[in-house]
Amino acid sequence: MYQQTLPIILASKSPRRQELLKSMNLDFEVVLKELDESYPVGLLPAEIAVHIAEKKAAAFLELSFAHIVITADTIVAYKNQILGKPSDAKHAKEILETLSGTNHQVYTGVSISYNGKTASFFDVTEVFFNELTAEQIDYYITNCNPFDKAGAYGIQDWIGLIGVEKIIGSYTNVMGLPTEKLYNALLSI
């Protein structure tokens, strides 16, 4: 059983990550900074997710002497092409049409900083979508705000409930934080 001995900072504005930490019964504070999330050309999706999580961790390293700092980044990849957050409704529709009837991977990189040191890991989940109709895609875009989500969807949202046929791997990873791996990493601190 994890016994929290230091305050935890979650350096993420993601409501899904906050919800997951609350569900893990962890006490934490959210601290935010605007950061550049660019990455070097040529990295694989898992490397991108970890690179960005570590970049975020570096921005909060000074806080890790009195806190445990958790940072994360989630990447959706289809045929090794990164599908980021959609810029508008047209872009969201293009992404969801691409994912319809196919499978893709969701990678989340996580960094945990403590006492001036950072440890990182990633998880990957394979997601299989049913064929989505144009009406389903339009309904989702209009009613469920896909614009703050990598790959233009949230598995916990309406489209995940009606459109995801199956997953191989962690459900919480697709939400943005592989809680089972995070829990084990916290146990080792």
Q: Which helix (H) or strand (E) holds 158?
A: helix 158-163
**Within its chain, how far is the Cα of 37 from the centroid?**
13
Catalytic residue among 36, 73, 88, 157: 73
* Pairwise CA distance, residues 55 & 111, whole Å: 9
Place of tokens 């209009």: 142
157 tagged catalytic: no
Q: Which helix (H) or strand (E) holds 141?
A: helix 134-144
Instruction: Give residue 168's identity as a one-letter amino acid code.
Output: I
Q: Tell me which residues are annotated as active site.
A: 73
